Structure 1
Amino acid sequence: MDGGAVDRTDGAPVLLVLADSLSYYGPKGGLPADHPRIWPNLVARELGWRVELVARIGWTSRDAWWALTQDPRVWASVPHAGAVVFAVGGMDSLPSPLPTALREQLRYIRPPVLRRIVRSGYQWLQPRLSKLGRPVALPPRLSVEYLESCRDALAAIRPDLPVIGTYPSVHRCDAYGQVHSGREPAVRALEAWSTEKHVPMVDLAAAVRENIFSDRANPDGIHWGWEAHEEVAAAMIAAVEIARRSAARDELEIG
Structure 2
Amino acid sequence: MPRLLVFGDSLSFHGPEGPCAADEPRLWPNVTAAALGGSADLVAGAGWNARDLWWSLIGDPRVWADLHKVDVVVLAVGSMDTLPSPLPTYLRTGLRYLRPDGLRRVARKAYLAAQPRLAVALRGRPTVLPTRLTIHYLDTAVGALRILRPTLPIVGVLPSVHRADSYGGVHTARGPAEAAMREWGQRVGVPLLDLPAVVGEHVLSGRGNPDGMHWGWEGHASVGKAMAALIGPLLAPEAP
Shorter-chain TM-score bucket reads over 0.9
Q: Structure 1: which 4+ aligned runs deviate by more than 4 Å?
A: none
Displacement of 1:73: 1.7
* Contact 2:48–2:77 (Cα < 8 Å) also in 1: yes
Aligned to 1:29: 18
Query: Are 1:123 and 2:112 matched, yes or no?
Result: yes
SS in structure 2 at match of 1:41: helix
CA distance in 2, matches of 1:127, 1:24: 24
Secondary structure at 1:79's aligned position in 2?
Answer: coil
Specify the code of the residue in structure 1 equivalent to 2:63.
V
Q: Kindly indicate whether residue 210 of structure 2 is the aligned counterpart of residue 224 of structure 1.
A: no
Q: Which amino acid aligns with 1:146?
A: Y
Q: TM-score, normalised by structure 2?
A: 0.95
Q: Is residue 134 of structure 2 the alignment partner of residue 162 of structure 1?
A: no
Distance 2:38 2:176 in 1: 34
Deviation at 1:238, TM superposition (A): 1.5
1:8 aligned partner: none
Larger Rg: 1
Give the total of aligned pairs. Answer: 235
Give the Å deviation of 1:242.
3.6
1:237 deviation in Å? 0.8
Q: Which one scores higher on RCO, CA 8 angstroms, separation ≥ 6?
A: 2
Match of 1:195 in 2: 186
Equivalence for 2:226: 235
Moved more, 118-127 or 18-27: 118-127
User: Corresponding residue for 1:173?
Assistant: 164
Paired residues of 2:206 and 2:212 also in contact (CA < 8 A): no
Q: What TM-score do you get using the length of structure 1 for normalisation?
A: 0.89
* Contact 1:14–1:77, Cα closer than 8 Å, also in 2: no
2:88 pairs with 1:95: no
C-alpha contact 1:14 1:49 (8 A) present in aligned 2: yes
**How many Å apart are 1:214 and its aligned residue?**
3.1
- Equivalent position of 2:51 in the other structure: 62
Residue in 1 aligned with 2:34?
45
Q: Which structure 1 segments of 5+ residues have no match?
A: 1-11, 249-255
> How far is the alpha carbon of 1:216 from its aligned partner?
2.7
SS in 2 for 1:53: strand
Whole-angstrom CA distance in 2 between matches of 1:244 and 1:187: 26
- Deviations 1:147-201 (Å, cap 9, x if unpaired)? 0111011100100100001001000001111011100111111011111111100
Distance 2:147 2:2 in 1: 19
**1:33-69 deviation per Cα after TM superposition (whole angstroms, max 9, x unaligned):** 0001000001111112221100010000000000111
- Partners of 1:129 and 1:143 in 2: how far apart? 23
State the percentage of identical aligned residues: 51
Q: Does 1:79 align with 2:68?
A: yes
CA distance in 2, matches of 1:136, 1:106: 18
